[in-house]
Amino acid sequence: MRAGKGVWHDGVPLAGQRLRGYQLWVALPESLELAPAQSQYLQPADVPQVGNVRVILGQYQGVRSKVNAPEGIQYLHVSLKAGERIELNPPAGHEVAWLHVGQGALSSGDDRMADELVVFEEGDLPIRLTAGQAADFVFGSARKHPHDLVLGAYSVHTSHAALRHGEHEIARLGEQLRASGRAV
């Protein structure tokens, strides 16, 4: 989903079902941050895979995600068996990288990572990981955003004016939904 100038949404797992999910909030370029909201729905089979790497956003080893997203972002879902290694090379120009270990444990050099968010030092060096036990994680890299970020209660923008506009639209949508009995 690209929230653009504002969107009201919810998500509820099926009753009795466990759910593990991630929300990745990405600061949009000025040209898209106040554009109409867009949603895109893909079936799990529509998410391309290279070996043990699912390509959520961007591309990996020549395989491109079907998600319509701004350029300059790579977001991968990786599963490794115990003892398995992977080297992740962020695309050219990606200076920012992070990962979150959802299950299991990883090591990079002497550092051990488990059930945590890791933000790597800025740069374009490869990231070498080893699974100490079977591990499931997301890995992202991106070009550095060219603007200072202005953070709101539920949005990220490039200026205070854009933030005010976006939050006003979210409030308007909420009022509309409450009036129709669809929101609390």
pTM here is: 0.87
Please say whether the beta carbons of 122 and 155 come within 8 A.
no
Mean pLDDT, residues 87-107:
95
Mean pLDDT, residues 123-140:
94
Core vs surface per residue 115-148: b (16+ CB within 10 A) or e: eeebebeeeeeebebbbeeebbbbbbbbbeeeee
Two tokens at 174?
Answer: 């909420």
Give the integer Cα–Cα distance in Å for 122 and 119.
9
Please say whether the beta carbons of 129 and 81 come within 8 A.
no
Tell me what the pLDDT averaged over the chain comes to.
90
Please give the pLDDT value at position 184: 65
Please give the pLDDT value at position 52: 96
